[in-house]
Amino acid sequence: MNNDLIRLSAAELGAAIRAGQTSAVEATRAYLDRIAAVDGDVNAFLHVDDEVALEQARAVDARIAAGEETGPLAGVPVAHKDVFTTKDMPTTAASKILEGWRPPYDATVTERLRDAGLVILGKTNMDEFAMGSSTENSAYGPTRNPWDLDRIPGGSSGGSSAAVAAFEAPLATGTDTGGSIRQPAAVCGLVGAKPTYGGSSRYGLIAFASSLDTPGPFARNVLDAALLHEAFSGHDPRDSTSIDAPVPPVVEAARRADVAGLRIGIVREFSGEGYQAGVLQRFNEAVELLESMGAKVVEVSCPSFTTALPAYYLIAPSECSSNLARFDAMRYGLRVGDDGTRSAEEVMSLTRAEGFGPEVKRRIILGTYALSSGYYDAYYGSAQQVRTLIKRDFDAAFEHVDVLVSPTTPTTAFPLGERTDDPMAMYLADLCTIPTNLAGNAALSVPCGLAPEDGLPVGLQIMAPALADDRTYRVGAAVEAALRDAWGGELLAKNAYAV
């Protein structure tokens, strides 16, 4: 196994491949070996096909050999969340209803990874249809956190976060609907970003809640995350809600990494009861660090944020109940009970009952309830009004500050099984991340240390206005650089699966 290659950052690996010091094939082999060695413990991947990955790598090496102008990540392997369609690999969204399904087309994000020369190693585990905060809702078994195999890797993009934390991939894709990139990044000690809504394409992304779903990157450091962000983002005419504007200068911001004169607001509502002491301690230290680097820190109140979680658990299930109606057992996916005597409607109901897991059923029923006549105004309608209030709170805050900060999650990674029978407790994992999704702006989580009481990673969340994604990278990179000096190296090197 070539640990020297695996230890390189994505930016360094890409540079080494371009300089001819190594190749896409060698890098891909190193990571495939690593996956074979550790994924039995971690279960980050749902599908890995060595030959398909190596074939992509050979093609990239040929492009480089032919003198093609390739980007900074050409030849670098990536783990791809199983919610994006891929025509050369199965796509299941971790659901039984799509077991073995091979889509006839690539998602835009998939296509752009290929165009940038990234090598897709395989598809990562997730909560079924991206509904969950622990990856325990996967129909194919839970993923484990490399920091402690008895704990959750976060969710819904938990396979992606675990893969990067266990050095099974230098980069991974995710999707963030209520925190599904930032929360797993935080609890696995990684960088994860939720781009501005509409900044990355939803075409070919299996829909959960269409007004919230946002593809974004995972990486071991801020610059790598920015490079991946840049590689797959930008306007897509095939997505009706894609923004026709240039990708914010995230790579430049990650390299700049200074916060002198920047105005930073601490969200007062994301503190106190329900927050782990060690999480708040590391968060406060990070804020002091930013202040010592020349940022101007003030406290900001966003009173509507306390109602974001209830609003989200009406809006997201409502959209999901509509989106998942497409799984009807007729054109693709599972079909159960078609014995020649049953009607299409009976076959549909049996298939959906068998193909969907408990959390997906719970959200379909909840969404159907919230959209029912008689309840619509009280639930869905009120939730949409709360969404307006949250946007107003952000707008008011960003008149005085450049970014807002909070802990990414109230607690560190919790033990597997702890919250599976208590949906409301599970939902609380997304308490701090949800407002950004409801308002559609940009946010990033960067590691800010280990909680003293359990030795597990804590994430600092940085929130910026829509299309100001670069500010989150700038602040994240500054925190990362300062903490790297303080720790004497990478935080991730302290986890059990570091190489």
User: Which residues contact another protein (rule: CB under 8 A)?
Assistant: 101-105, 197-198, 211, 237, 240-241, 243, 304, 307, 310-311, 313-314, 321, 325, 328-335, 338, 340, 342-350, 352-353, 356, 358, 361-362, 364-366, 368-369, 372, 378-379, 381-389, 391, 423-424, 438-441, 466
Task: Kindly tell me which of 299 and 421 has the beta carbon lying closer to another protein.
Answer: 421
Residue (13 or 370) nearer to another protein, CB: 370
Active-site residue, from 95, 133, 134, 156: 156
452, burial (CB in 10 Å: exposed 0-12, middle 13-18, buried 19+): exposed
Q: Which is closer to another protein, CB of 282 or CB of 387? A: 387
Residue number with CB closer to another protein (132 or 153): 132
CA pair distance 478, 246, nearest whole angstrom: 24
Q: Which is nearer to another protein, 34 or 387 (CB)?
A: 387
353-370 per-residue burial string, b: 16 or more CB within 10 A, e: under 16 = eebbbebbeebbebbbbb
Placement of tokens 């990650």 in the chain: 254
Neighbours of 328 (CB within 10 A): 16
Annotated catalytic residue within 9, 23, 81, 160: 81
Closest CA to 460 of 451, 228, 230: 451
User: Which residue number, 144 or 419, has a Cβ lying nearer to another protein?
Assistant: 419
Round to whole Å and give the CA distance between 491 and 148.
Answer: 15
Contact indicator for 126, 138 with CB cutoff of 8 Å? yes
Catalytic residue among 9, 23, 133, 180: 180
Any idea what the Cα angle at residue 36 is, between residues 34 and 39, rounded to 5°?
Answer: 90
Q: How many CB atoms lie within 10 A of CB 307?
A: 18
Q: What are phi and psi of 4, to 5 degrees?
A: -65, -40
| Residues contacting residue 58 through CB under 8 Å, at least 6 positions apart | 24, 25
How far apart CA 435 and CA 308 sit, in angstroms, is 6
Q: How far is the CB of 69 from another protein (least distance, A)?
A: 27
Is 318 among the residues known to form the active site? no
Q: Are 146 and 496 in contact (CB under 8 A)?
A: yes
Q: How far is the CB of 369 from another protein (least distance, A)?
A: 6
Is 346 in a helix, a strand, or coil? Answer: helix
Quick check: is 201 catalytic? no
SS3 state of residue 143:
coil
Query: Tokens 């971790």, residue?
Result: 94
Smallest distance from another protein to CB 126, Å: 20
- Please choose, from the candidates 47, 143, 161, the residue with its C-alpha nearest in 3D space to the C-alpha of residue 98: 47
Minimum distance, C-beta of residue 309 to another protein, in the bound complex (Å): 8
CB of 465 to another protein, least distance (A): 12
* Residue 185: CB minimum distance to another protein, A: 21
- Cross-strand pairs, 218: 172, 192
Based on the residue annotation, tell me whether 123 is a catalytic residue of this protein.
no
* 210 vs 281, beta carbon nearer another protein: 210
For residue 243, the minimal CB distance to another protein (Å) is 7
Phi-psi map region of 93: left, alpha, beta (phi>0 left; psi -120 to 50 alpha) = left
Catalytic residue positions, numbered: 81, 156, 180
